[in-house]
C-alpha cells in the first residue's frame, strides 16, 4: 500500500526512513540535517565509517535515537536541466533504497521527496519517478509512505498516485 502523509519524517515510527543525503554522508541541510539532529551524533559516526556514497546508490545505518529502526541514505541527482542522466539516477535512488530495505527485512518504509529541495529537481517530474518505482515494489512491502513536507507536495503525490492506481 502506498500512502501519502504531510509530516516531519523524523517523527515516523516506521521500520526505515530514507534520507536525501549528499555523497559525503556527513550531514547537511534539509531533511538530512533534520535526520542527523534527531538521530544524534552516533549517526554521523556510523556514516563516517561508511565513507561516502555515490549519487544513485544507497547505504543503511541504524536509526539510533529515531523512532525508525533504520535509516537508508541515498544520494539524489542535482537537477541540471534533465539531460544529464537525472531521471535514471533518481530511479536508481528509489530502487537501491528498496533493495536495501528488502535485504534487511523492512516492510514499512517512508521516503522524503528526494532531490526536490536543495538539489532542484522539479516536483512533478520527481514524483512521477518516485511513484513509478514505488508501484513496482508495492507488492513486496506492507506500507510505503510518501512523506511530504508541504501541502503543495502532498497534492502532487496524491494526484500522481490516483493517476497510476
Interface residues with ligand AR6 (CB under 6 A) are 8-10, 20-22, 28-32, 34, 76, 112-119, 147, 149, 153
Q: Which is nearer to ligand AR6, 114 or 141 (CB)?
A: 114
Minimum gap (Å) between residue 57 Cβ and ligand AR6? 14
Q: What are the grid coordinates assigned to 133, written together?
A: 518505482
CA–CA dist 44, 36 (Å, integer): 7
Q: Which is nearer to ligand AR6, 22 or 108 (CB)?
A: 22
83 is catalytic: no
Whether the CB-CB separation of 145 and 110 falls below 8 Å is answered with yes
Where is 39: in which H helix or E strand? Answer: helix 30-39
Q: Which is nearer to ligand AR6, 88 or 140 (CB)?
A: 88
Minimum gap (Å) between residue 152 Cβ and ligand AR6? 10
Minimum gap (Å) between residue 36 Cβ and ligand AR6? 9
HEC profile of 43-95: HHHHHHHHCCCCCCCEEEEECCCCCCCEEEEEECCCCCCCCCCHHHHHHHHHH
Closest by Cα among 7, 26, 99 to 56: 99
Minimum gap (Å) between residue 30 Cβ and ligand AR6? 2
Q: Which residues neighbour 148 within 8 Å (Cβ) at sequence distance 6 or greater?
A: 4, 5, 6, 7, 113, 154, 157
Q: Which is nearer to ligand AR6, 90 or 140 (CB)?
A: 90
Which listed residue (32, 99, 151, 152) is catalytic? 32
State the catalytic residues: 32
Amino acid at each position: 500500500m502506498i500512502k501519502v502523509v504531510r509530516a516531519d519524517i523524523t517523527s515516523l515510527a516506521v521500520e526505515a526512513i530514507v534520507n536525501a543525503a549528499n555523497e559525503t554522508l556527513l550531514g547537511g541541510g534539509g531533511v538530512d540535517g533534520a535526520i542527523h539532529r534527531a538521530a544524534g551524533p552516533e549517526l554521523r559516526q556510523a556514516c563516517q565509517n561508511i565513507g561516502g556514497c555515490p549519487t544513485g546508490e544507497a547505504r543503511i545505518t541504524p536509526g539510533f535515537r529515531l523512532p525508525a529502526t533504520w535509516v537508508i541514505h541515498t544520494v539524489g541527482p542535482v537537477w541540471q536541466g534533465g539531460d544529464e542522466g537525472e531521471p535514471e539516477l533518481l530511479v536508481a535512488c528509489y530502487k537501491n533504497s528498496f533493495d536495501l530495505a528488502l535485504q534487511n527485512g523492512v516492510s514499512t518504509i517512508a521516503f522524503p521527496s528526494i532531490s526536490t529541495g536543495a538539489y532542484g529537481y522539479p516536483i512533478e517530474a520527481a514524483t512521477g519517478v518516485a511513484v513509478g518505482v514505488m508501484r513496482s515494489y508495492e507488492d513486496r512491502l506492507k506500507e510505503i509512505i510518501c512523506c511530504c513536507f508541504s501541502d503543495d507536495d502532498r497534492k502532487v503525490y496524491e494526484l500522481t498516485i490516483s493517476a497510476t492506481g
